[in-house]
Structure 1
Amino acid sequence: MPASIGFRPTPDDERILREAALSGESTSDTLRRALRLLDHERWLARFRADAEALRGEDVSTDPPAW
């Protein structure tokens, strides 16, 4: 089922969309790209938190897997 999304762009949003349109990118493509960047930023934040939590882990002390 397709989602219905409402969006009221701010003046800054409109500027970004205008600039993207000048390079041939549609509004939909610009919003998709922005959503994927947001998703990637969240993934990186989780990655960094996991890395920080495991910073002191020493895998050389684990028994061999085989």
Structure 2
Amino acid sequence: MTASIGFRPTPDDERILHEAARPGETTSDTLRRALRLLDHERWLEQFRSDAEGLKGENVNAEPEAW
């Protein structure tokens, strides 16, 4: 799947991109890294939610599945 994404950064976006960029990193690299971090944060949020829901579960009380 290919997508063409347009992005017109605001002055505040420009500031954030400039501050977040690592040496030698392009704006695209910085945005890719930020998207991966966002994806990871969403994964962690789901993980924490699932863990909270299973907090009282006692797997030792369940019969062996195999």
| TM-score over 0.5 for the pair | yes
TM-score using structure 1 length: 0.84
Q: Aligned letter for 2:30?
A: T
What's the CA shift string for 1:4-55, capped at 9, x where partnerless?
111121222111323316x111011001001101100110110011001111
After the TM superposition, list the runs of 4 or more consecutive aligned residues in structure 1 that deviate by more than 6 angstroms: none
Q: Which residue number in structure 1 is paired with residue 52 of structure 2? A: 52
Q: Distance in 1 between matches of 2:6 and 2:33?
A: 17
TM-score using structure 2 length: 0.84
Q: Which residue number in structure 2 is paired with residue 63 of structure 1? A: 63
Uncovered stretches (5+) of structure 2, i.e. residues with no partner: none
Bigger relative contact order (CA 8 A; separation at least 6):
2
Q: Distance in 1 between matches of 2:32 and 2:11?
A: 19
Q: Distance in 2 between matches of 1:3 and 1:37?
A: 20
Question: How far did residue 2 of structure 1 move?
Answer: 2.1
Percentage of identical aligned residues: 77
Q: Which residue number in structure 2 is paired with residue 17 of structure 1? A: 17
CA-atom RMSD, angstroms? 1.5
Uncovered stretches (5+) of structure 1, i.e. residues with no partner: none
Q: Aligned letter for 1:35?
A: L
